[in-house]
Chains A and B, each alone.
Chain A
C-alpha cells in the first residue's frame, strides 16, 4: 500500500472540507444552528426552524439556518445557537426556543442586535460579556469524548465531520499494521459500552486470529432498554464517528463486510446513517479501495424489528440470518463463530465511536480519563425526577452523587432523593447509601447493579421500589424470548408476586419466594436477559426492604404510588371556601362540595388519577396522599338537595 497516496487522498478531502467550512463561516450574516435530533424534533424544533425561516425571509435578514444534532441538553430543547458576529456578541445558546421565541429573536436579536439576555443559557465560548456555558457545573463536569462533536456539526454533511478532523484516525490506521492498532486499543483498556464491559482489544484480537477468510463486524445499535437513547442520539448527531470506528475495526480484524444493526423504530437514525454511508462511499471512504488503499469494505444497514432480546449478540445474529431472535449458548463466542458461522466482532455504537479519538490521541491520553480498570467516559441518558434530564458524558469514576446533583441539577420540587436505577432492566436500584459509589463497571457490579448500556432513572421519595421492580419485570417478561425455563416461567412468577404485593395481596412469605426465585433465575438462565432480569428485584429487596415489608405486612405503600394501597383526600383545614379548581379536572365527578363550601372526595368514585392534586393552587396545597387508604379522614357528602321540578 502506498502511504503517500493515502495521505494525499485524505488531504484532498480535508482541503475540500476546510474550504466549505471557511465559505460558510465567511458568509455574511448570522448563523442559526438548531438541534434537530429526535429529542429536538419531539420538542418542536421543526416548527422553530420554520418560524426562523419565515421571519428571516419576511424581514429580509441575512442569515443561514443550519441543522445540527443533539447537544445533550434534552431538558432545554429545542436548543438553538445563534452566532451573530455583526451584533458584537459571541455565539449564544438559547434553550426552549418556541416558534414565538424564534420570531422574537429574529426581530430583536438578528435585526435589532439585542440578544434578550433573559432568554439565554449562556455563550458557547469564553468571552467578557456573557457567562459561558462551559462554566456551569453541567458543562465543566462533563468530559466529552464520544459526544464531543454532537450538536456542533450537521450530521448529514460528511465534510462537517472531516473539517473537525474526522477520518484522520482512519487514514492513520490504514498506514499501520492491524496488529499495531489492536495493540493500541488494548493498551487503552477500552471496555465495551454495550453493557458487559468486555475488553474491546481482546475481542478484536480473537476475531483477527480466528480461522476463516470471511469475517464480519456488526455495530449493535439495537438499544432496547426502556428510556435509553444514547445510541440513537449519537447516530443522529454524528454518524460518521461511528462509521469511522466501524471501518477501523473491520480493517483491524480483517473483515470486508460490516453491518449496522439498528432498530426500525429509529427512522431518523436509519435515514441519517444511510445518508452518511452514501456520502462516505462517494468520498471514497467506503468501497473497493478505502481512501485509495487496497483495503475494501462494505457497510450495510440492517433494520431490526425492536425486540429487546435481539440486542443480545447471539440473538442478533440469529435474526440477521432470518430466524426468530433467540439466543444461543456461548461459547462459541461470535468473535470465533458468529454470523453465518464466521468470526464476527459485535460492538456497541459508543464503543465504536470511542475508537477514532483513541487512535488520534493515543492510549495514554485515554487512560488519563476515568479509572484504572474502567478508562474513558460513560454516556448516560438521565431521566426521572431530576432537574436537568438529558444525555451526559462523564469520566468513569464520577460518583453517582456528582452525576445526579451537580451535573443533572438534583431532585426538583423540594423532594428527597430515594433511589437511582442504573443499567435498565438488567441493572439495579441503589439507595442513598450508594451515592458515593464511583460509576465504573466493577463498582456498579459489586453493588448489584450494572453499567448496562447507559440508562439511568432517578427517583424521588414519591416512588415505590416494589412498583418499579414490577415495571421492569413486566418489561423483561414480555421481552423474554421464551426459550429457556427459568426466564420464561420464572420471570412470570416474579411479576405475579410483585403484582400482588402492589395490590396488597402479598405476604411476607412472598418476599422469601421472590428472593429464592430471583437467585435461581439468575443462576439458571441461558442468556444475559434472564441472568440479569432479577437484578432490579434483588437489589430493591436488599436496599429497600422496608418498602417490601410495608406492602406485605401493613398493606401500605411508603412511596404513595401503588393505587390499591393509597388514596387522596382534601385537607379541610387547607381547602379554600368557594375554590372550584379541582372540580372540573376530576374525570369521574368524585369531588363534591361539603356543607361548609369546601371540597371532599367521594372515595367510592375516585380513580386516584391525582389530577386534583396537580391543579390545587399552591397557596392552598390541600390535596393529600395517604397510605393505607383507611387513614384518609372520612368526609361525608351532604345529602343531595331536592331537585326542584
Chain B
C-alpha cells in the first residue's frame, strides 16, 4: 500500500514485438527542433496524434522517429490584443471550440472546431495538427482494409504508384482538378483560417518565419512546411471595422470529414451594411482551399441582403465543366453551404460587433 492508501502494482513484462517507431518527448524547444533537424525526413511531430497514428496504421506514413510535443510548454495560449488574435499551435480543438474570446471575435473558428471529429478527438487534437494533417482519400489512407489487403491492390500515386486511382466522379473527391491527385482538402480549421486571411508563425533551428496561410497552402495537396519545421501559432489580424464570419459543413457521419465545408467572412464598410471584402473558402472540392472569387466579387461593394447572398452563392463553381452525379451534388452542396455560412456570418456580425 502506498501512502494514500491505494494499492501499487508493478507490471513488468514489456511486450516482445518490435516497435514500429522510436518515441521522443523532448522537454525543451531546443531539443525538440534539434531532433527534427537531425532526423530530417525520418521524424514526424506528434501533437495530438489523432491524425499521425491513423496515418501510421494505414501505412501512409512510416516515420522512424515520432517526436511528441507533450512536454513543450507555452504553445497552447489564446491571446487577443488590439491588432490580432493569436492561437498557439498546441491549443486543442476543444479549447478553440469552447473559447469565448474566439467565439466573440471570429466565430467561424469555433464553429469549425465544433464540427471536427468527435469529442474524444477534439479533446486531444490540436490546431497545428489540424492544419498540417495529411490529405484524405479512400484509395490512400481512409479505407477500412488492412495492410495485407492494401498490399494486394495497386498503390495510388501518393503511396508510390504511377497514377491516381481515385474515381473521377465521387462524393469524397475533388470537383476542381488541380494536379494529378484527386484527394480533397479537408482541414476545417485550415479552411476557417484561410477565409480569415490569417498567417502562421513557423519555427525551426534556422529561426522563425511568418507565412500567410494562403501561401502556406500553396499547391495541390502541398504545404509550405519543411520536415523539420514546427508551426508555432496562427495569427488573425483585426481590421478595426465590423467583421463577421460563419462556418457550414456537410458530412455523412457524425464524426466524419467534410464532403463539402464552407468558411465565410464579411468585412463591412463603416455603414455596417456595405460589403468591403468578402471571403469564401470551400473545402472538400479541391486539393487546397477553394476560394470562391466568383461569389466574392458579386458581394463586394454592395449592400448585403438575403437576395444578394442567394445570388452570389448560385455563382459558385459555375465554371466547372465536367460533372457527374456526385460532382453536381457537391456543387449544389457548396452553394447551399456558402449561403448558410454567409447568413450565419451576417447574424454573428450583429453579436460580435
Q: Do A and B come from one complex?
A: no
Interface residues of B (CB under 8 A from A): none
Interface residues of A (CB under 8 A from B): none
